[in-house]
């Protein structure tokens, strides 16, 4: 099973750019095209929040059109740039979002890997939260299938990354969530967005990670006082998390765009192993 992760799409109304600079809609279209060109297509696509830039109804309509070419199921969770009510209005018909209740969290049991989407949004705030209600919900869902390989996906990372200004708006309640997740060794991965960079950490007895954005990236600045966070236009990317019962979940980052190649590995005559297959046994023994 291949799980594609796209994140921080920051879709705008048609014709408008994010921060007056980033054509996020065109960049999402390029990412969707890249996914559909893969010779081995993903089985599902997860989008881990900041689906739109401002949570506007027009942005969700544009998002729906941009995602339409994907032939596999697509599962969305909101981020701090989203608005639950507008997201729900446009995507409710897909059938996996809860019909009522405050949070847009859910479990997908249709695949070899169980998928748990978490809603970490605090309306009007940049940071996220796993509050008591959400922690209890997560614990209940994990306890229902403790033997199933499981991926949790969410917008705000519940762990610290060293990107100090972003860490200030990460997922609060992360330690409480870690206490729960650590009791379920079947959690293969906690997949996040929000930080717009490729980041991995050992956390709660599993691996937690952040995928780069399909649009702009957060500048890498590990100074303790790195405020304000700046963005740049490093290559847009998505991740492929490949599951097999033999090797578990293995994750790859793929860049969207043409960077040259593919080229064949034609070995230089000076390469140490060049011609090794034809080396005479006597020579090899010297």
- DSSP secondary structure, 78-98, as one string: --TT--HHHHHHHHGGGS-S-
User: Cβ(169)–Cβ(126) under 8 Å?
Assistant: yes
Task: Decide whether 114 or 196 has the Cβ nearer to Fe ion.
Answer: 196
Closest approach of Cβ 126 to Fe ion, in Å? Answer: 7
Task: Decide whether 8 or 59 has the Cβ nearer to Fe ion.
Answer: 8
Per-residue CA distances from 93 to 10, 56, 86, 153 (Å): 22, 18, 13, 21
User: Cβ(240)–Cβ(3) under 8 Å?
Assistant: yes
Closest approach of Cβ 169 to Fe ion, in Å? Answer: 8
Q: Please name every residue paired with 129 in a beta bridge, in sequence order, or none if there are none.
A: 172
The binder of Fe ion chosen from 24, 52, 80, 86 (CB under 5 A): 80
Closest approach of Cβ 218 to Fe ion, in Å? Answer: 8
Residue 8 is a binding residue for Fe ion (CB under 5 A): yes
Residue 157 is a binding residue for Fe ion (CB under 5 A): no
Closest approach of Cβ 168 to Fe ion, in Å? Answer: 12
Closest approach of Cβ 41 to Fe ion, in Å? Answer: 26
Binding-site size, Fe ion (CB under 5 A): 5
Phi, psi dihedral angles at 163 (to 5 degrees): -85, 90
Residue 195 is a binding residue for Fe ion (CB under 5 A): no
Site for Fe ion in 223-282 (CB under 5 A): none
Look up residue 123 and give its two tokens: 């309306």
192 C-beta neighbours (distance < 10 Å), count: 31
Residue 170 is a binding residue for Fe ion (CB under 5 A): no
Residue 103: partners with Cβ closer than 8 Å, 6 or more residues away: 119, 133, 134, 137
- Give the interface with Fe ion as residue ranges (CB under 5 A): 8, 50, 79-80, 194
């Amino acid at each position: 099973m291949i799980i594609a992760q796209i994140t921080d799409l920051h879709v705008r109304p048609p014709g408008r750019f994010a921060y007056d600079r980033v054509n996020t809609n065109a960049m999402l279209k390029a990412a969707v095209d890249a996914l559909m060109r893969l010779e081995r297509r993903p089985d599902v696509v997860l989008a881990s929040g900041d689906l739109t830039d401002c949570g506007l109804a027009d942005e969700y309509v544009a998002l729906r059109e941009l995602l339409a070419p994907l032939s596999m199921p697509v599962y969305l969770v909101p981020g701090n740039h989203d608005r639950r009510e507008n997201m729900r209005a446009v995507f409710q018909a897909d059938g996996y979002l809860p019909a009522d209740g405050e949070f847009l969290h859910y479990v997908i049991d249709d695949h070899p890997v169980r998928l748990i989407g978490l809603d970490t949004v605090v309306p009007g705030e940049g940071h996220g939260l796993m509050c008591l209600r959400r922690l209890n919900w997560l614990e209940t869902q994990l306890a229902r299938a403790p033997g199933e390989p499981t991926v949790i996906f969410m917008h705000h990372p519940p762990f610290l990354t060293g990107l100090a200004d972003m860490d200030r708006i990460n997922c609060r309640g992360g330690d409480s969530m870690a206490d729960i997740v650590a009791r379920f060794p079947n959690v293969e991965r906690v997949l996040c967005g929000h930080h717009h960079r490729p980041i991995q950490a050992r956390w709660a007895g599993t691996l937690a990670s952040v995928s780069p954005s399909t649009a702009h990236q957060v500048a890498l600045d590990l100074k303790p006082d790195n405020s304000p966070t700046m963005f740049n236009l490093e290559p847009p990317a998505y991740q492929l998390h490949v599951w097999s019962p033999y090797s578990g979940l293995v994750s790859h980052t793929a860049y969207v765009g043409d960077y040259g190649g593919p080229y064949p590995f034609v070995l230089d005559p000076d390469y140490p192993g060049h011609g090794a297959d034809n080396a005479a046994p006597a020579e090899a023994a010297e």
